[in-house]
Amino acid sequence: MTAHPTTDPAAGPVPAAGARTLMPAESAPHERTWMAFPTANATFGEEGSPSLADARRAWAGIAAAVVRHEPVSVLVAPQDAAAAREALDPRVVLHQVPLDDAWLRDSGPTFVRAGDRVEAVDWVFNGWGQQSWAAWERDARLARRVADLAGVAVRCSDLVQEGGGFHVDGQGTVLLTETVQLDPDRNPGWTKERVEAEVHARLGTSAAIWLPRGLTADYGEFGTRGHVDIVATFLRPGVVAVHTQTDPGHPDHAVSAEVTEILRQAVDARGRRLQVVELLAPLTTEVDGELVDFSYVNHYVGNGFVALCAFDDPRDAAAAAVLAEAYPGRRIEPVDARDVFRFGGGVHCTTQQQPAAPAGPRN
């Protein structure tokens, strides 16, 4: 693996030595949300195909929900610029950038605060563990491109991982999954200790809680092999939501039970035993005979809103009620996520938050 330089001097001045680095919680104020517009590829389909049109419609729905509350910038492949202008809300800012895919949570940068500045972490991206269907030559460069567009410095890491593979509480705790960070097709030879040291150095965390695996369908053909952002997420420091499958006959019943028990026994960076909130899984478990990993955990929290994955499912309303209680004062924005999950992810997977600088706007 080729080592990245520690900092990209072209992306802006470097913070003073000793400036504390910390990834804020997703619920902290945002400067903007970054997304990418689906382009023709192995998962979305060829140009002009109904499946690509479905993907673009689904991504546009997410962007429309978010831009009602905060600025949205969308990366679009040059050949797709006209289609993007037609599909997206006119308030969305477009940036023409070569793309392979549209999961910017994974291929884009992770934004952190370093002292009084915002920086971008550029993890190594290799197509979710060099999966046979994936292309990533262009997407591997996106973190630097986004950082340049945002006008922030870049800190590069040699760790292969994606933004959907971890969650932070903003107070020093990070959730990880053994089948992601320790995947031999991502990080061969890396130990938990080495992963934790690198993650803590880049995110400013000090305590890692490891989950053994993700949801079952996430190990299918177009899965991520265990991203945490459909399994568990912090609602606030000390409180974590977990995907809860109530059907004993479903393969995720055992997964969610194991994850729930681990989280209930876990202690965060402040020494607190975690409070676990169960987000009941949608009743829909299959589509066209195929197991799906529909999850309300995969919501996105922004300035005054929560974009909730909706599935036209009887449990949509209950999930909305749980999140309304968890995020008082924020508007719950249900977004039809069925087509998003059809292509291998959810609402959270399409977005990446750029936190406001400490002196920036507040909710």
| Residues annotated as part of the active site | 349
What H or E segment, with its residue span, contains residue 306? Answer: strand 305-310
Tokens of 256: 């969610």
Q: Name, in order, each residue with C-beta under 8 angstroms of 12's C-beta and a sequence gap of 6 or more.
A: 151, 152, 153
Closest CA to 116 of 150, 170, 152: 152
Residue where the block lists tokens 């194991």: 258
Query: What are the Cα distances from residue 333, in Å, to 4, 81, 321, 324?
Result: 39, 27, 12, 10
Query: What are the Cα distances from residue 217, in Å, to 31, 144, 242, 255, 308?
Result: 34, 31, 16, 11, 20
Residue where the block lists tokens 């913070």: 15
Angle at 78 (CA atoms; ends 37, 156), nearest 5 degrees: 70
CA 319 to chain centre: 19
Spatial distance between the Cα atoms of 341 and 237, rounded to a whole number of angstroms: 28
Backbone φ and ψ for 122, nearest 5 degrees, come out as -105, 95
Sign of the alpha-carbon dihedral angle for 278, 284, 290, 295:
negative
Length of the chain in terms of residues written: 363
Tokens of 176: 């990880």
Spatial distance between the Cα atoms of 256 and 259, rounded to a whole number of angstroms: 5
